[in-house]
């Protein structure tokens, strides 16, 4: 994937479209819009990362790193105090994370927020965990049914064909499970459950008629189709090196899929190292005329012009741009006549776990490093299924594993016999964790700090977001429920933990909200096509558009919403309505 020739040369050009951000949503916007015939400029604040060429740690063994893939503690604490909290952060991946010292933000007194960022072309599509699930019909009705937040202006049927379009291109491994609250995708063959998981699944089905125990669905190729092969993508090799970048294209990323597809059209241009300062508003036409950017290397200011603009800079990034684009017509942030811009920030809650040991299976092991585990879909997905003391529900994910030297070094032992034991497989364990829904609350919000700025003179974000009693009660119930499940399945030494004080919002890296969709322009920023109520040529399709978080990993829905909005925008532009 050679991209040097795509760099934009003239600022005076007026593009048909500008896409801000090149992660999961920005890549999809660029692909869909260019394939509709629009000359498109993809703008990203980060450096260019080329597929294969820039995966600088791929295939290296842990012995090739000074501290066996660990980042020196003083460096991690100095440069990455927040980023190091990510599951994907180590010495093999740190070049795909932003230094916190270079991108500061603040939180209000008494609150905390973990903002994980990957500022390069491709964004966090190089780092995501690739779990891919549709929202179900009930997820689009939850706000309406229980009165929390505003009603989604779309329903499952509106998004279903776009889910299918996206899935066929991305490649989703999974099984057709027939779960009403978790609709099936367009699947490639699933990864196999371990034998002990298959046995647990059989027991679970007998014990829980209202719940399901399925293999996790992941954006990994197991049987590539012609489209994927034509892009140079091949089967997942189950190496567990995904966040280093995958030259096989075995998992979906901007670099492996949407960017080369957009490049094939000959209509894509890229402005990397271009930090968007604000959007240019034409008050006479009530349109966005373009974007103002700052070159991160030279600090030169530039302006790029276009007929339509797609904001795909991430939930917090897109809203920060809108807030910093305030003017006398929109004094509280561009396209914010409703006053809700920045509010209703949500994330998933990971603060409940359970664990136990399985007896037997001493002759069983597994081949490779499977990129997914098992999933128990949300079984509290509508009000009549809620617990009495809190609203909404959670899904449960986990995996069976066999102890090895890494886990057994923490067990008791000494001397030659202990060392010999570390060289043999240990017991089978089974670990599960809840992923709970966060209610949309006006108080959870972001704003621009009144005085603190970043290295480019842009006001820092100040974040005020905290768990409510609803989320705390949910996690306490989840931990108890999961421990009970494991005991009923016959596991030994079952333990559980609730960690509400350890993992603040942002820890799941599933932040959504802050520029929500809605039917009423007085209570929302976007309409049902992800189009600004206030400014018709502005579209926002990243997580900021969500009106509720549901419990599923959100990235597949980001993609489907973006593809849908891109086609709508292209139709509106060609018709002359915007």
Beta strand pairing status for 301-311 and 538-540?
parallel
Q: Name 507's Cβ contacts closer than 8 Å, sequence gap at least 6.
A: 85, 114, 347, 350
Domain spans of the chain, in order of start: 4-108+120-128+247-347+511-544
Q: Dump pLDDT digits (tens) for 208-246.
A: 999 999 999 999 999 999 999 999 999 999 999 999 999
Q: Dump pLDDT digits (tens) for 38-86.
A: 999 999 999 999 999 999 999 999 999 999 999 999 999 999 999 999 9
Q: Are 151 and 143 in contact (CB under 8 A)?
A: yes
State the pLDDT at residue 376: 98
Q: Name 100's Cβ contacts closer than 8 Å, sequence gap at least 6.
A: 79, 80, 81, 82, 83
Q: DSSP letter at 86?
A: S
Q: What is the CA radius of gyration of the chain?
A: 23
Q: Are 245 and 126 in contact (CB under 8 A)?
A: yes
Task: List the one residue out of 348, 189, 254, 341 whose CA is nearest residue 42.
Answer: 254
State the pLDDT at residue 7: 60
Place of tokens 């995708």: 185
Give yes or no for residue 309 having a pLDDT over 60: yes
- Neighbour-count burial for 386-425, b at 16+ CB within 10 Å, e otherwise: beeebbbbbbbbbbbbbbeeeebeeeeeeeeeeeeebeee
Determine the Cα–Cα distance for residues 258 and 256; give it in Å rounded to an integer.
7
Q: Dump pLDDT digits (tens) for 125-183.
A: 999 999 999 999 999 999 999 999 999 999 999 999 999 999 999 999 999 999 999 99
Q: Name 90's Cβ contacts closer than 8 Å, sequence gap at least 6.
A: 69, 70, 71
What string of DSSP letters covers 34-64?
HHTT--EEEE-SSB---TTTT-TTTT--GGG
Determine the Cα–Cα distance for residues 521 and 340; give it in Å rounded to an integer.
10
What is the rounded average pLDDT of the residues 187-209?
Answer: 97
Determine the Cα–Cα distance for residues 350 and 517; give it in Å rounded to an integer.
25
Q: Name 134's Cβ contacts closer than 8 Å, sequence gap at least 6.
A: 156, 159, 160, 163, 182, 183, 184, 185, 552, 556, 557, 560
Q: Dump pLDDT digits (tens) for 444-486.
A: 999 999 999 999 999 999 999 999 999 999 999 999 999 999 9
Q: Dump pLDDT digits (tens) for 91-134.
A: 999 999 999 988 999 999 989 999 999 989 999 999 999 999 99
State the pLDDT at residue 424: 80
State the pLDDT at residue 3: 57
Beta strand pairing status for 106-107 and 459-464?
parallel
pTM of the model: 0.96
Q: What are phi and psi of 198, to 5 degrees?
A: -60, -40
* Tokens found for residue 508: 């799941």
Express as a percent the part of the chain with pLDDT over 70. Answer: 98
Determine the Cα–Cα distance for residues 518 and 520; give it in Å rounded to an integer.
6
Give yes or no for residue 504 having a pLDDT over 90: yes
Beta strand pairing status for 214-215 and 187-188?
unpaired
What string of DSSP letters covers 419-465?
HHHHTS---EEEEEEEEE-----TTSEEEEEEEEE-TTSPEEEEEE-
Beta strand pairing status for 492-498 and 352-358?
antiparallel
What is the rounded average pLDDT of the residues 299-313?
Answer: 97
What string of DSSP letters covers 97-115?
S--TTTS--EE-TT-----
Maximum Cα interatomic distance, the chain, rounded to a whole number of Å? 81
Domain 4-108+120-128+247-347+511-544 of CATH type 2.60.40.10: no
Determine the Cα–Cα distance for residues 296 and 516; give it in Å rounded to an integer.
30
Q: Please name the helix (run of DSSP H) or strand (run of DSSP E) that holds residue 572, with its range, or none.
A: helix 555-575
State the pLDDT at residue 403: 85
Task: List the one residue out of 49, 419, 443, 485 whose CA is nearest residue 270.
Answer: 49
State the pLDDT at residue 2: 56
Determine the Cα–Cα distance for residues 115 and 39; give it in Å rounded to an integer.
33
Q: Dump pLDDT digits (tens) for 354-396.
A: 999 999 998 888 878 999 999 999 999 999 999 999 999 999 9
Q: Are 453 and 380 in contact (CB under 8 A)?
A: no
Calculate the alpha carbon distances from 464 to 31, 84, 193 in Å: 35, 21, 41
């Amino acid at each position: 994937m050679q991209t040097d020739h795509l760099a934009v040369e003239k600022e005076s050009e007026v593009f048909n479209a500008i896409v801000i951000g090149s992660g999961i949503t920005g890549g999809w916007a660029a692909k869909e819009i260019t394939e509709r015939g629009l000359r498109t400029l993809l703008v990203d604040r980060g450096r260019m990362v080329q597929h294969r060429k820039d995966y600088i740690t791929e295939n290296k063994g842990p012995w090739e790193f000074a501290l066996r893939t660990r980042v020196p503690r003083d460096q991690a604490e100095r440069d990455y105090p927040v980023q190091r909290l990510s599951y994907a952060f180590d010495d093999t991946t740190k070049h795909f994370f932003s230094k916190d010292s270079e991108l500061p933000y603040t939180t209000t007194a008494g609150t905390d927020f973990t903002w994980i960022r990957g500022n390069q072309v491709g964004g966090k599509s190089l780092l995501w965990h690739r779990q891919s699930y549709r929202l179900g019909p009930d997820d689009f009705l939850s706000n309406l049914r229980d009165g929390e937040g505003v009603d989604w202006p779309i329903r499952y049927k509106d998004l279903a064909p776009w889910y299918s379009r996206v899935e066929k291109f991305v490649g989703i491994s999974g099984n057709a499970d027939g779960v009403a609250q978790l609709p099936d995708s367009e699947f490639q063959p699933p990864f196999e459950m371990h034998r002990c998981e298959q046995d647990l699944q059989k027991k679970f089905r007998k014990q829980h008629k209202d719940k399901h125990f399925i293999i996790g669905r992941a954006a990994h190729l197991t049987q590539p189709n012609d489209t994927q092969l034509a892009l140079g993508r091949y089967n997942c090799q189950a190496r567990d090196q995904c966040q280093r970048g995958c030259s096989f294209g075995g998992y979906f990323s901007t670099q492996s899929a949407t960017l080369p597809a957009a490049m094939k059209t000959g209509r894509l241009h890229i402005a990397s190292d271009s930090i968007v300062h604000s959007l240019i508003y034409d008050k006479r036409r009530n349109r966005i005329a373009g974007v103002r950017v700052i070159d991160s290397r030279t600090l030169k200011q530039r302006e790029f012009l276009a007929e339509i603009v797609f904001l795909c800079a991430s939930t917090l990034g897109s809203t920060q741009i809108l807030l910093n684009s305030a003017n006398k017509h929109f004094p509280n942030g561009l396209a914010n006549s409703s006053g809700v811009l920045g509010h209703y920030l949500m994330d998933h809650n990971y603060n409940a776990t359970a664990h136990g040991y399985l007896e037997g299976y001493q002759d069983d092991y597994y081949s490779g490093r499977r990129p997914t585990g098992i999933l128990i879909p949300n079984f509290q997905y509508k009000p009549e299924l809620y617990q009495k003391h809190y609203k909404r529900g959670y899904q449960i994910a986990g995996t069976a594993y066999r102890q090895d030297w890494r886990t057994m070094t923490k067990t008791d032992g000494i001397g030659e016999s202990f060392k010999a034991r570390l060289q043999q497989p240990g017991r089978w364990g089974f670990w599960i964790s809840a992923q709970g829904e966060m209610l949309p609350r006006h108080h959870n919000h972001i704003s621009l700090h009144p005085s603190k700025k970043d290295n480019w003179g842009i006001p820092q974000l100040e974040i005020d977001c905290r768990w409510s009693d609803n989320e705390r009660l949910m996690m306490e119930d989840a931990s108890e429920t999961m421990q009970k499940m494991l005991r009923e399945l016959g596991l030994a030494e079952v333990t559980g933990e609730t960690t509400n004080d350890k993992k603040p919002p942002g820890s799941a890296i599933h932040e959504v909200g802050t520029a929500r969709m809605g039917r009423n322009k007085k209570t929302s920023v976007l309409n049902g096509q992800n189009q600004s109520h206030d400014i018709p040529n502005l579209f926002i399709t990243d997580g900021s558009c969500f009106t509720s978080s549901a419990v599923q990993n959100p990235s597949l829905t980001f993609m489907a919403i973006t593809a849908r909005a891109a086609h709508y925008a292209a139709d509106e532009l060609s018709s002359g309505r915007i």
